[in-house]
Amino acid sequence: MISIIEKIKDRIVYVSKDPMRALGLETLIPNFYIVSYEDSYILNFIKNTYSIKRNESNPKQRGDIASILSGTMVQEYISSIPEPISFMFFKPTHGGEEMLNNQKILNTTYALNKKFEDKIELVKLFEKMIPKSKVINLETENYNNLKNIFGSKFVIQFSHGHSGNTTFFISNEEEYNNLQEEYPKRISKAVQFIEGEYFTVNGVVTKKGIVVGNLSKQITGVKNLTDFAGSTVGNNWDTKLEIRVKEQIKLLTQNIGNILETYGYLGMFGIDIIFDGSNIFLIEINPRENASIPVFTQVQIENGFIPFKLIHILEFLNIDYSLDVKKENDFIFQDIQLTNLVVRKKDNQKNKILFNGVYNSNLEKIREGYNISSLKNNNEILILSKNEMGTINEEIGRIQKRGNISSGEISLIADNI
């Protein structure tokens, strides 16, 4: 892997509101820089960083990419980085593209990202892979009509959302009517409710083929971690799925990657699926780096695989490299003892104690550390807290452990962050 990294001559500048999004390659690529809006404990461990909240006494920027890049001191910092420079974002933005103009951006375009991330568009492009669905207008669609199509329990999803905050589980007419009143005239997707387990799969479109990553079970709606029943709050890589099911998931992911490629897509993508015990359904496509990639990158490195984040950079920089696609794809058949949980801000919640580092189950600190390489055994817990509270359902902390995290541990940590 060292020989591949030596081929990267560009300085990679990852721009993000939250510096945690940028993690994964900071210990592999010497010329990897993080420019962020937020300050964070994790920045104490990383060499090449600039944080607006840490470095500026009275910042006027917001947390979006264009605003971050517009700052005078940010521009001065970027100007101090030797050229050539390539920029990378967690999620493509129109403002970021305009701000950087003709400079190199290692992301798919905003237009292409928007096309595939739109949950309404999903119905048109991937109809045979998704559960029974119907595009509706909330103002005009009658509950009984949807009940006749989907049964008394179904799901409403808006075109775009964040971490499940625009996914609503409807089980009676009153809940549907309340949604109609709150979001009049909203074009939405009504979806058949399927009882099953949710999973996240990371993939990458390359010139050498579609590469599929290891599989993780999606953790959703845990009450101590979020107020939203449909909100994603983490991943567990110990899936315990049968080999035949994993093979089907691998083929589905490759098929989706091939479809993305026909539209000119390149690089990382992620999908969310549900398995009902017999069938696998596509729920969502993230045509970008998935939220689990920073942790998954560390998992790949620890297990001797080329990280997708690195492959993504190599592809966009058009650097020649060797890749054993079959070996990379076979990683899906391994289960990994690792859980990554996100603590989201709940209504009227205020900061309590900032926990950062490695702890035992009694919240006694063992050592400093900011990623899973800090965890020496299955009893240790890595906790990362944000310095500031955001809006409702925004991430305020992370919990990572090599193994399962008990409900008691979740409750204790979530009650104190």
Q: For the segment 313-358, what is each residue's pLDDT rounded down to a tens digit?
A: 999 999 999 999 999 999 999 999 999 999 998 877 766 678 999 9
State CA 394 to chain mean position distance. Answer: 13
**Does the pLDDT value for residue 387 go beyond 80?**
yes
| Residue 38 structure tokens | 């937020």
Pairwise CA distance, residues 193 & 172, whole Å: 13
Give yes or no for a contact between 199 and 273, defined as CB atoms under 8 angstroms apart: yes
Number of CB atoms found within 10 A of residue 274's CB: 20
Give yes or no for a contact between 413 and 357, defined as CB atoms under 8 angstroms apart: no
Q: Tokens 């045509």 — which residue? A: 287
Of residues 146 and 123, the one with the higher pLDDT is 146
Q: Give backbone dihedrals phi and psi of 392, rounded to 5 degrees, phi first.
A: -55, 130
Collapsing DSSP to helix, strand or coil, 354 comes out as coil
Pairwise CA distance, residues 241 & 278, whole Å: 12
First to last CA, the chain: 38
> Which residues have C-beta within 8 Å of that of residue 3, sequence separation ≥ 6?
none
What pLDDT does 255 receive? 96
pLDDT per residue as tens digits for the range 28-58: 999 999 999 999 999 999 999 999 999 999 8
Q: Give backbone dihedrals phi and psi of 7, rounded to 5 degrees, phi first.
A: -75, -15
pTM (two decimals):
0.92
Side-chain-side CA neighbours of residue 256 (13 Å)? 34
Cα 288 to Cα 66, 83, 88, 120, distances in angstroms: 18, 25, 11, 18
DSSP 8-state secondary structure symbol assigned to residue 131:
P
> Which ranges constitute the DSSP H helices of 8-108?
52-55, 65-70, 72-79, 94-100
Average of pLDDT values for 129-137? Answer: 93
